[in-house]
Amino acid sequence: MAKTLIEIKQGLECQVGRKLKLKANGGRRKTIERQGILAETYPSVFIVELDQDENAFERVSYSYADVLTETVEINFLEERNKSMI
């Protein structure tokens, strides 16, 4: 697991365009699981375009701090390689 915000950002930048599954803390013992594609990275946040069949809205954004504090867990989906950030 990456230890700094810069390492998390660099790790996500090279994964843009890949399918992922994310698990986010929704508060009050609620966990949200979504699938989509890592669309863009910005200096403070990253954007995930969600699968329209499963979700009511198109895009969500999370900060790199969410990944660092484990509020958001990202698993990239591939047949051969499964990597976790």
pLDDT tens for the 85 residues of the chain, in order: 568 999 999 999 999 999 999 999 888 889 999 999 999 999 999 999 998 776 667 899 999 999 999 999 999 987 555 555 5
Name the token pair of 61. 């954004």
Residue 27's pLDDT is what? 85
Q: What residues does each domain of the chain span?
A: 5-76
> What is the pTM (predicted TM-score) of this model?
0.81
CA pair distance 80, 38, nearest whole angstrom: 19
Kindly report the CATH class assigned to 5-76: mainly beta
Residue (of 36, 2, 40, 1) closest to 20 by Cα position: 36
